[in-house]
Amino acid sequence: MKIGVLKTDDVRKELVGEFGEYPEMFAGLLRSQDPELEFITYEVQHGHYPNHIDEVDAYLITGSKTGVYDNKKWIPPLMDFVRELHDLKKPTIGICFGHQLIAQALGGKTRKSDKGWGLGVHTYEVQETPSWMSEPMNSFSLLVTHQDQVEALPPGGRVLASSEFCPMAMLQVDDHMLSFQAHPEFTKPYSNSLMELRREAFGEEVVEKGQASLQNDIHENVVARWMLEFLRK
């Protein structure tokens, strides 16, 4: 399977040497489950798109420090592309910003949450177990870094997992779009380094709580298998 990564941001320059860029993080995560996967990166933040929508089998939209509601010239064309993917029922996964963008582009609503920053390890309760989820769990935990949240579902959307902090944490739209607010591609060392780097912006108390949560288990490999099962169903 060939996956097109729609890259919407760059890793902070202070961290990229140790941890790589987002497409490398996703490739590492997903190839741990299937070493034969192929990846093509499209720098959509710079206006680079596939020549034809079917030159890959599926798409993955990365996270970004940008809000989907921000006045950036590259966001409306990306929303148009998401709507095209939806119309053509192209298998697509959205992560963090990608999760929010899918909802916003298809008629839902994303905004900055009054709950503030979510950092570190968060746990989600599974609300629905679709047939493609061959390894069902009652709950799962992943790393997060977000302030924005989806607050209204798009038509055809349903909530697969939620938490008190983030009620719309894992969504499925019809049978071809899946999205997560959390970051299965993040590692604990990367999350910790990011919190340290942005300690002043995040706030001392939130960072301390986020760093303390890193002792908890995460289920990135289970989620990676879910992602591949969804794309292949």
Tokens 């995560």 correspond to: 29
**Phi, psi at residue 169, to the nearest 5°?**
-85, -30
Active site residues: 96, 183, 185
Other CB atoms within 10 A of residue 205 CB: 8
Answer yes or no: are the C-beta atoms of 111 and 148 closer than 8 Å: yes
Say how far apart CA 24 and CA 154 lie, in whole Å.
30
Say how far apart CA 93 and CA 146 lie, in whole Å.
18
